Structures are given as structure tokens and as C-alpha cells.
Amino acid sequence: MASKKSKRKKVRRIFLGLSGLILLVLAIRYMASYDVPYIYRLGTNNVKFTDKYDPDATLLIPAAYSNPDHTVQGEYRIAGKIYGEPNRLERISIHPTKGLVISGRWQSNYGFQQTVLIKNNKIRYHKDKRLAFRRALGTVDGKLAILQSKVPMTLNQFSESIHKYCNNAVNLDMGDYGYGWYKRKKFSRIFKYNRDKQTNWIYLP
């Protein structure tokens, strides 16, 4: 009887040891990859900025912040026409061949104003210390891409995590209106989707 008990204890110790080892490996893998963002390469620069909701769009993701009165925050440009009032020095132009262009002047017919995370391969550091899921529009391998954090991060942590993949990137709205989609991929389902309050989007027909 004692022999059977000792065998069971031995098996239990081995099982617990293997379980602990597996958990340790998973934890190490998680810690090693938590700051690797999801990257959705759009494969095209035929992306526009719009203030019109389109349920048939291939890509539709919130871009600029929304004001309390449900208007687009900052200056923006649609089909060459300027709307809104400037709230930052730089304009985020969505260029048909250059991709994302960050400049003091509009460089294309479509664009908006947002927080710059990376410009000309240099990280911009910000005071926002909140942990939150983050999303950016960036240029990856010469094409536009959406980059999104896997876990809540500060804005600076997110900028550092995407810096190795893109040399230009701007923040995207990830508040209560943070839902969106690209083809069949849905983004940020943990967030509410208040389409009636969202005012603007990154758009791909």
C-alpha cells in the first residue's frame, strides 16, 4: 500500500513539475511577444479620410478624435476641401504614392490631425501614462498599415513597440468608438461601437 501511495506522490510531483514548466514557458513566450503589435498591411495606398460612414467599405477605422459635440477634432481635408479648425501644427496627409506624410502643410487631398508617434524614424514621446489598447496608422515597407497593441500600453510603450516596423506613424482614435474592420477582420471588439457618436474614419473602398 505504501508503495502505491509513494508512486502516486511521485506521479503527482512529476505532473506538477511539468505543469509548472509549461506555465513558465508560456509566460516567457508571452513576455517576449507582448510588445509585438498586430500588423495589418493594407497592400495599397488607396486609402482616404472620410466623415461618412460606409458599411460596405473594405477598411473603416476611427482616425481623428471626436469633440464632445460629435464633430471631428482638428483640421481635416476631404477631396481637396478643408474643414474644421487646426488643433496641431502638423497635418497627416494620406498620399496615393508616398503613403503617410507628416508635414505642416497638406500634401494630398485627404488627411486629418492626430498625435504623431513616429516621424522620420524618430519616436515622439508623450505624457500620456494611461494603459490602454493602442492603434496607429503607419508606413510599413512603403505601404500603409494598421498597427495595434496586443495588450494595454502607455503611448510611449506603444511607439517603441512599433518603431522597428515603421518610420512614420500616427495615433488613431481608440476610445469608446474604437471599433472598426478591415475585410473580415474586426478590430477591438472589447470596445463599444457608438457609430452615432463616431465622426470620422480611415477608409478603403
Shared-domain flag, residues 14 and 87: no
- Low-confidence stretches of the chain (pLDDT < 50) are 24-32
Shared-domain flag, residues 28 and 43: no
Its domain, for residue 83, covers: 35-204
Task: Report pLDDT for 17.
Answer: 59
Shared-domain flag, residues 6 and 76: no
Query: What is the C-alpha separation between 24 and 66, in angstroms, rounded?
Result: 43
Shared-domain flag, residues 13 and 79: no
Shared-domain flag, residues 137 and 174: yes
How many domains, in total, are found in the chain?
Answer: 2
Task: Report pLDDT for 71.
Answer: 92
pTM (predicted TM-score) = 0.80
Shared-domain flag, residues 75 and 175: yes
Shared-domain flag, residues 51 and 21: no
Shared-domain flag, residues 96 and 145: yes
Task: Report pLDDT for 128.
Answer: 85
Q: What tens digit of pLDDT does each residue of 91-131 get?
A: 999 999 999 999 999 999 999 999 999 999 999 999 888 89
Shared-domain flag, residues 107 and 197: yes
Shared-domain flag, residues 21 and 56: no
Q: What tens digit of pLDDT does each residue of 12-24 get?
A: 666 555 555 555 4
Shared-domain flag, residues 82 and 144: yes
Tell which residue, 102, 94, 73, 96, has the closest CA to residue 85.
73
Shared-domain flag, residues 68 and 153: yes
Task: Report pLDDT for 185.
Answer: 75
53-63: b (≥16 Cβ within 10 Å) or e:
eeeebbbbbbb
